[in-house]
Amino acid sequence: MSNPRRPRLFRPETLTALGIIAVAVAFMAPTAALKPISAFLPATMLIGMAVLSLFLLLVDQRAAGAGEDAPPMTASPKRVLGAFLMIVCYALSTDYVGFYISTAVVIPLVAYVFGYRSLPGLALATCIVLGAIYLIFDVAMAQTFPVGRLWKS
């Protein structure tokens, strides 16, 4: 009795990886319009996301080639959809309310959604990431991040 297999490209991890790569590539176009020093952080983040997603894609396709069954999509579809929704909301909120406020909200939110529940740890991680970004880009490189359309007028 044969067990009909779904196509390898419809595995949940493969679809997630392809979606992240598509979003990263789509956001590279506006990043390319920035000055090189201003584009450094977003381009690095987008390239990092694409490379990690490519790694996820290769690992999942290798598992598919070995005949391993994909984890069921129903195990965490809300988490996957929530991650994509957070990416879109983060991009929009950075444009409207600014980089630092958006990042201060997104970092603990993403960590919480993916299972990290220590509130002091979330606060510390957020402060460390934001402080490092501020020191590296604002202080050392004299670069400013978007302040948001709401604060400009």
Q: What is the per-residue DSSP string for 58-93? A: HHHHHHHHTTPPPPPGGGSHHHHHHHHHHHHHHHHH
**pTM of the predicted protein model:** 0.59
CA distances in angstroms from 15 to 24, 51, 53, 115, listed in the order given: 14, 15, 10, 22
pLDDT at position 108: 93
pLDDT per residue as tens digits for the range 54-113: 999 999 999 988 888 877 655 677 777 887 888 899 999 999 999 999 999 999 998 888
For 136, which DSSP code? Answer: I
**pLDDT > 90 fraction of the chain, expressed in percent and rounded:** 46
How much is the mean pLDDT over the chain? 87
Smallest Cα–Cα separation from 48: which of 32, 17, 29, 24? 24
Q: How far apart are CA 123 and CA 110, in angstroms?
A: 13
Smallest Cα–Cα separation from 91: which of 10, 4, 139, 28? 28
Specify whether the backbone of 27 is left (phi greater than 0), alpha (psi in -120 to 50) or beta. Answer: alpha
